[in-house]
Amino acid sequence: MIALLIRDLRIAIRAGGGFGLGLAFFLIVVTLVPFGVGARTELLRAIAPGILWLGALLACLLSLDRVFALDHEDGSLDLLATAPIPLEAVVAIKALAHWITTGLPLVLAAPLFGLLLQLEPRGYPWLVCALLAGTPALSVLGSFGAALTVGLKRGGLLLSLLVLPLYIPTLIFGADVVRRGAQGLDVTTPLLVLAAITLASVALVPFASAAAIRVNLR
């Protein structure tokens, strides 16, 4: 299992799907927003939680098509499907590798990007907590979309269309945590819901993803 995780981390970085691509896209989104809405501090502070979460969500989408595609192209996915390791565990490991190379760097960089949007100082700890609690769900749900589209040529657009609706609850509650934290309000309810979404995704989605892979490999 550890060897598979290390292998996927190396493949993700070498294939151009590592942290650099996601961070660059995240930075572009955050940088362009002030040009679009104007450099008004109060307006930027009001929309900062939503923009930061939206940027993180879209950055996670960039490398989803590579979660299973490279293994499918070289035949490794067929071997993994017949290996002694349960396919559900393989899916979970690949989702973890995607989160480490994409989600975790976004979590670490988000406070710096929050400065560009004039986020309230009280919101920075909650921004990190919300992203830590919510971005694993983005990777796990994204692996389901990748499993559905594995083997399809130019399936990136279809993947985005399939995954984006699944991301909406995480986006809503994640942004609400940051918004409430920045305003000094209680964040318990949205944070618990966000954590529940992630836990439910981690517990259930790998089984759906594994089933989708088995169907595509037949």
* pLDDT tens-place values along the chain, 218 residues long: 777 788 777 776 766 555 678 888 899 989 888 888 877 888 889 999 999 999 999 998 887 877 887 777 777 787 777 778 888 998 999 999 889 988 999 999 999 999 988 899 999 999 999 999 999 999 999 999 988 888 777 667 788 888 999 999 999 999 999 999 999 999 999 999 999 999 999 999 999 999 988 888 77
Alpha carbon distances (Å) from 209 to 139, 151, 152, 183, 194: 12, 14, 15, 38, 21
Residue 62 neighbours by CB under 8 Å, 6+ apart: 17, 21, 22, 25, 102
pLDDT value, residue 120: 92
Q: What span, in angstroms and rounded, lies between the C-alpha atoms of 165 and 154?
A: 20
